[in-house]
Structure 1
Amino acid sequence: MRSYSAEYLDLTPPVHRGLKEIVDKSIFRKDLNIIAAKIDARKTQTIARALRDKAILHIRSYRNVEPAGDGKTLVLLKFPDEALLPPDVREFLEKEGAEFVPYTMELDYDHWTADDILQSVLPEDLAEQHPSGFAMVGHIAHLNLPEEYLPYKHIIGQVILEKNSAVRTVVNKLQTIDDADHVFRVFKMELLAGVPDYVVSHMEQGCKFTFDFTEVYWNSRLQTEHTRIVDMLKPTDLVADPFAGVGPFAIPAAKKGCAVFANDLNPSSYHYLNKNTISNKVKDLIVSSNEDGRKFIRYVFRQAWDMPMPPHRPKEKGESRRAAKRPPAPALARWAPEHARKRITHFVMNLPQSAIEFLDAFRGVLAPANMGDRPLSGEYSDSGSMPMIHCYCFTRFLEPAEAEADIRQRVEAGMGHPLGEEVSLYNVRSVAPNKDMYCISFRLPYEVAFAAA
């Protein structure tokens, strides 16, 4: 038996173009006249299974099988009258002893999706491409409305709020990344619907992040990229994150076993980074700071040498349960100094607007002028022991070859030295019609790290 669409039925809500607010939801009530198959209740499962994707009507929040009394059941079909029943459907139902009866479905506001309602209330020239998509950050739905939709922003917010049970707050971003606070990457936003509660709890990579969305930078669209970088790290790695934010790279990396020096200039980001470090139980593996990124790059090599991080120790099966029953050991007794992690193996530089401008800070970071007389030969002895740098940036070049040439030229100019052979480029996402975000990963050239001042 073939499948049939509901092409004979008008399943759209009543049209009320130009509304700025929905006050009376009864205006969306609509009667839908269809036919139903009245069958022996004992055959309900058999018939429903056979017709599920072929002839039964499926409407949000509406049961398509109803009791009819006297041991009978009504199976609602996607046809307005008996004359339109396809022959194979009719033959099957008649063999099962079905009786065809008219049925009126009473639909209201609750039966339609946000897309359906917005298409019925926005002006016709805006309805087709209406912005019902949004990013979720905890309980906040975050929109970036084009200018032509701003007169209808509150009804858009209202519909999104009412049609998504996980949403309690709907906001609209008022700036682009270029116009936002250049230092902290914090966007101005306006409340469209719901409660003005901007402190969220957001889950990503099995970690819980708490932060005030109005005070820090967070982009849920980067979750895949956060995971990509963390997946390439080894549990034994020592990672430096100059622009750590509230910890989307640092905390999952520490959960994996990496030790991390995490820094952010924004005091609010630093506050929530510390809070998230504690709540995710990785305090022993993250050292946080609230400094300028360039200053951090210069001193973190010294910090890693003078205050080495504990070695990675794989957990034994059942260890977490045993550990909970005994008091913690003194910190210094947990690991031997000779096993400490001193050598930084990765830098994550997620500041695409300007991270390349910080690459000059790597010149001479391992030279005596920065490191003094620390004996580095055992750790940073050759080119292969230099850290990998994962530097984010934007480019206006959309062709991959042109984008690569543009990014390489800017990175090499920033460091004052050509890149080596160990280089890869990854297109993270498109952020605007003529603007892509990339991550360039490369090994810090030995000559740059040990360059004279």
Structure 2
Amino acid sequence: MALDASPPTLTGLTAPLDKTLFRKSIPILAARFSPTKIGSVRKSEPIRRTVIDLPRLRSVIPDPSAPAGDRLLLLKVSSEVDLPPQAQDFLKTESNGLVPYTLELDYDYWTADEMIQAILPESLRERSPTGFAMTGHIAHINLKEEYLPYKHLIGQIILDKNLQVRTVVNKLDSIDTQFRFFKMELLAGDPDYVVEHHEADCRFTFDFTQVYWNSRLHTEHERLVQVFKPEDVIADVFAGVGPFTIPAAKKGCAVLANDLNPQSTKYLSLNIENNRVSDVVKVSCEDGRAFIRGVVSRLIADPFPAYSGPKKSKNQENQERRRQRSLVPPTDTTPSLPRNKISHFVMNLPDSAIQFLDAFRGIFSHLDNQECDDIYITMPMIHCHCFTREIEPENARIDIIKRVEEKIGHPVVDDFSLHLVRSVAPNKDMYCISFRLPPMVAFDVE
């Protein structure tokens, strides 16, 4: 026994979506029972397999003809002859009679997946675009060409069926050539693209149409930040609006954050302020290659203050002010040195970050050798995100290492690792290659 509760198929719909067309009436039987008996009846062996089991529908409702009296137990048959013999016998002896009942289903009942299936031709249903990613209040999808005629219907359904969504956009294939963010079109909802997005206990505000952000990379953001020590200095070459910078700074790291896109640095500065890490982040807006070549000497000339322990909450800051007023000496009087050494370079621009690796050649060559030896006892780690068309892991490893070594002009052997971040297309994977900068590269004199 089963009821067909699927929505009506309406493949000829055009935008705007007419919700009134999605109605379905299903005639069934209902059995009357007194309220005191209904609980035990539902569990009884002869009857429990005949009760409707549709999602989001109650199987027991008040009797419309006598709301204060009997309850109706809804059955998944439309005729008494469809009931199994045991169920028929049970209902004749235990119920107060059978009555016809009509299930009325409408647009609000069905899920987004079911609705999208209902508006698509049968040939497109198998891989229907029911998934989406959330960034703040924006749901963004990547529609393949064959689904574009239905894009506004799909957008409206996603908007209607998800209360947290206020705007639905489709990412287009075209990418801003200079700043590498996706262009997009509005499918449904408000044309409001400035979002507030939360990740790793951090708050990010940005215009989704003007900067690059990928919510699917949150695990990669967390993975790499876990590698950093609180006392480290991080050089974030392509910082964007701060998905690495902000959580690293909240951990205690000092960060030199750079991005070429003025909109990114605008919102990065706002996010630094909103997350209360202004004292440990410096922002620049320049080409990544120029940033790499100048950031080492810049930090030596203008170091960050010494690491002073984990970032304090507002309550801890208030306690610290009270301690200072009462002249209670701090418990730790060990002197600390200013932070003038970069421990990690983060290069999160997978489309072209490898092309910037040649900028590391000679970044120490213009510095005093003794000064470098004192500060850089160990070379910085480089974490470079990239794409490869090689799907087999060993082939991907060979491809990425070859491209990296061609750019830096030296083998990468120290502290080397290769991490698969995610698959971005059937024949395209994203990796993060991490390696320690070879001294021969850092001191290279052209």
TM class, shorter-length: 0.7 to 0.9
Is 1:240 matched with 2:235? yes
Deviation at 1:21, TM superposition (A): 2.0
Q: Which moved more, 1:30-39 or 1:248-257?
A: 30-39
SS in structure 2 of the partner of residue 378 of structure 1: helix
Q: Is the 8 A contact 1:396 1:403 kept in 2?
A: yes
Residue of structure 1 equivalent to 2:417: 424
Supply the RMSD in Å over aligned alpha carbons.
Answer: 3.1
User: Scaled by the length of structure 2, what TM-score is found?
Assistant: 0.88
Residue of structure 2 equivalent to 1:398: 391
Is 1:153 matched with 2:151? yes
Question: Which one of the candidate residues 246, 249, 257 is aligned to 1:251?
Answer: 246
Residue of structure 2 equivalent to 1:199: 194
SS in structure 2 of the partner of residue 393 of structure 1: strand
Q: Is the 8 A contact 1:235 1:256 kept in 2?
A: yes
Residue of structure 1 equivalent to 2:327: none
Is 1:231 matched with 2:229? no
- The 5 Å alignment of 1:108-257 reads 108-175=106-173, 179-257=174-252
> 1:14-35 CA deviation, whole Å, 9 max, x = no partner?
1211211255322111112334
SS in structure 1 of the partner of residue 182 of structure 2: coil
Q: C-alpha separation between the residues in 2 aligned to 1:95 and 1:282? A: 74
Q: Is the 8 A contact 1:304 1:342 kept in 2?
A: yes
Q: Is the 8 A contact 2:306 2:336 kept in 1?
A: no
**Partner amino acid for 1:188?**
K
**Partner amino acid for 1:156?**
I
- The 5 Å alignment of 1:16-415 reads 16-42=10-36, 57-59=52-54, 61-68=56-63, 69-81=67-79, 101-175=99-173, 179-315=174-310, 320-324=314-318, 338-367=336-365, 369=366, 371-372=367-368, 375-381=371-377, 385-415=378-408
Residue of structure 1 equivalent to 2:4: 10
> 1:324-381 CA deviation, whole Å, 9 max, x = no partner?
477699xxx99998422222111111001111111111111122x2x34671222212
Deviation at 1:63, TM superposition (A): 3.4
Q: C-alpha separation between the residues in 1 aligned to 2:406 and 2:150? A: 47
Q: 1:105 to 1:96 in 2, by over 3 A?
A: same
> 1:114-159 CA deviation, whole Å, 9 max, x = no partner?
1111211222222332212111111111121111111221111111
**Partner amino acid for 2:111?**
T
Is 1:452 matched with 2:445? yes
Q: C-alpha separation between the residues in 2 aligned to 1:419 and 1:167? A: 45
SS in structure 2 of the partner of residue 377 of structure 1: helix
Residue of structure 1 equivalent to 2:432: 439
**Partner amino acid for 1:386?**
M
**Partner amino acid for 1:216?**
V
Q: C-alpha separation between the residues in 1 aligned to 2:41 and 2:100? A: 18
SS in structure 1 of the partner of residue 175 of structure 2: coil
Structure 1 residue runs without a partner (length 5+): 1-6
**Partner amino acid for 2:160?**
E
**Partner amino acid for 2:24?**
K
Q: Is the 8 A contact 1:15 1:121 kept in 2?
A: yes
Q: Is the 8 A contact 1:311 1:335 kept in 2?
A: no
**Partner amino acid for 2:304?**
M
Structure 2 residue runs without a partner (length 5+): 325-329
**Partner amino acid for 1:180?**
I
Q: C-alpha separation between the residues in 2 aligned to 1:386 and 1:406? A: 24
Q: 1:228 to 1:77 in 2, by over 3 A?
A: farther
SS in structure 2 of the partner of residue 392 of structure 1: strand
**Partner amino acid for 2:433?**
I
SS in structure 2 of the partner of residue 351 of structure 1: coil
Deviation at 1:403, TM superposition (A): 0.5
Q: 1:401 to 1:23 in 2, by over 3 A?
A: closer
Deviation at 1:92, TM superposition (A): 9.1
Q: 1:410 to 1:50 in 2, by over 3 A?
A: farther
Deviation at 1:250, TM superposition (A): 0.7
Q: C-alpha separation between the residues in 1 aligned to 2:81 and 2:333? A: 81
Q: 1:34 to 1:182 in 2, by over 3 A?
A: same
Count, aligned residues:
435
Q: C-alpha separation between the residues in 2 aligned to 1:127 and 1:392? A: 35
Residue of structure 2 equivalent to 1:4: none
> 1:237-279 CA deviation, whole Å, 9 max, x = no partner?
2111000000011101111221111110000000000000110
Q: Which moved more, 1:144-153 or 1:303-312?
A: 303-312
Q: Could you tell me the percent identity over the aligned residues?
A: 53
Q: Is the 8 A contact 1:310 1:335 kept in 2?
A: no
Q: 1:246 to 1:59 in 2, by over 3 A?
A: farther
Deviation at 1:452, TM superposition (A): 2.2
SS in structure 2 of the partner of residue 110 of structure 1: coil
Q: C-alpha separation between the residues in 2 aligned to 1:343 and 1:90? A: 83
Q: Which moved more, 1:244-253 or 1:86-95?
A: 86-95
**Partner amino acid for 1:76?**
L
Q: 1:61 to 1:416 in 2, by over 3 A?
A: same
Deviation at 1:221, TM superposition (A): 1.2
Q: Is the 8 A contact 1:157 1:193 kept in 2?
A: yes
Q: 1:89 to 1:348 in 2, by over 3 A?
A: farther
Q: C-alpha separation between the residues in 2 aligned to 1:159 and 1:239? A: 43
SS in structure 2 of the partner of residue 375 of structure 1: helix
Q: Which moved more, 1:246-255 or 1:424-433?
A: 424-433
Q: C-alpha separation between the residues in 2 aligned to 1:293 and 1:151? A: 40
SS in structure 1 of the partner of residue 220 of structure 2: helix
User: Scaled by the length of structure 1, what TM-score is found?
Assistant: 0.86
Deviation at 1:109, TM superposition (A): 0.5
Q: C-alpha separation between the residues in 1 aligned to 2:278 and 2:389? A: 40
